[in-house]
Amino acid sequence: MNPYNYLYLAALLFTIGAVGVVVRRNAIVVFMCIELMLNAANLTLVTFSRINGTLDGQVVAFFTMVVAACEVVVGLAIIVTIYRSRRSASVDDASLLKR
């Protein structure tokens, strides 16, 4: 088997995540899709790390995880705040940018 197959898998997962971000309305699900995209990226990093024979890719993947954790913490806090004022977790309801 070829290690490049992992890359195909990552590409697929990333695309699915992207579609989810656009299609789903629940902010929490949107967030989960973003997490999926980040994980797909991590998979590529790990695979490249293996292909190149250095650990730098894994280090970067590690950093990605930390950043993703931060993002989740802040993002979820924002969702809670929005929910508290609008009683809704739908991203469409927070369409105040237009006005």
Partner 1 sequence: MTTSTSLGYLIALPLAGSIILLLAGRKADKWGHLLATALSASSFGLGLYQLSQMLRLEPEERAFTQKLFSWISVGTFNVDAGLLLDQLSICFVLLITGVGTLIHIYSISYMSHDRDRRRFFAYLNLFIAAMLLLVLGDSYLNLYVGWEGVGLASYLLIGFWNQKPAYATASKKAFVMNRIGDMGLSFAIMIAFATLGTVTFAGVKEASESASTATLTGIGIMLLIAAAGKSAQFPLQAWLGDAMAGPTPVSALIHAATMVTAGVYLITRSNFIFDAAPTAQLLVVIVGAVTLIFGALIGTAKDDIKKALAASTMSQIGYMTLAAGLGPAGYAIAIMHLLTHGFFKAGMFLGAGSVMHGMKDQVNMRRYGALGKFMPITFVTFGLGYLAIIGVPPFAGFYSKDLIIETAFNAGGVKGILLGSMTLFGAILTAFYMTRVMVLTFTSPERWEEDQHPHESPILMWLPMVVLAIGSVTTGYLFTRGDALVHWLEPVFGEHGEHTELLPHKVVSALAITAVIIGASIALVKYQFSEVDAEAPNKVSILTRLARKDLLQDSFNESVFMRPGQVLTRWLVKGDDNVVDGTVRLVGRTALGAGAELRRTQTGFARSYSALILIGALVLIAGIWVITQ
Partner 2 sequence: MLEIQTPEAVMFWVLAPLSVIAALGMLLVKKAVHSALLLAWVMVTLAIFYIAQDALFLGIVQIVVYTGAVMMLFLFILMLVGVDASDSLTETIAGLRPIAITAAVGFGGLFVALISRATLGREAVGLQAANADGNVQGLAQKLFSTYVWPFEVVSALLITAALGAMVLAHHQRSVARPTQRQQSIARFRSGSLAGAAGLPSPGVFARHNAVDVPALLPDGSAAPTSISATLKARGDMLESRSFELGEVDNTVTEEK
Site for partner 2 in 50-89 (CB under 8 A): 50-56, 58-59, 61-63, 65-74, 76-81, 83-84, 87-89
Q: Which is nearer to partner 2, 52 or 99 (CB)?
A: 52
Q: In whole angstroms, how far apart are CA 79 and each of 32, 53, 68, 70? A: 13, 41, 16, 14
Site string for partner 2, 20-39 (x = CB under 8 A): x-xxxxxxxx-xxx-xx--x
Q: Is 42 in the site for partner 2 (CB under 8 A)?
A: yes
Burial class (CB in 10 A: 0-12, 13-18, 19+), 29: middle
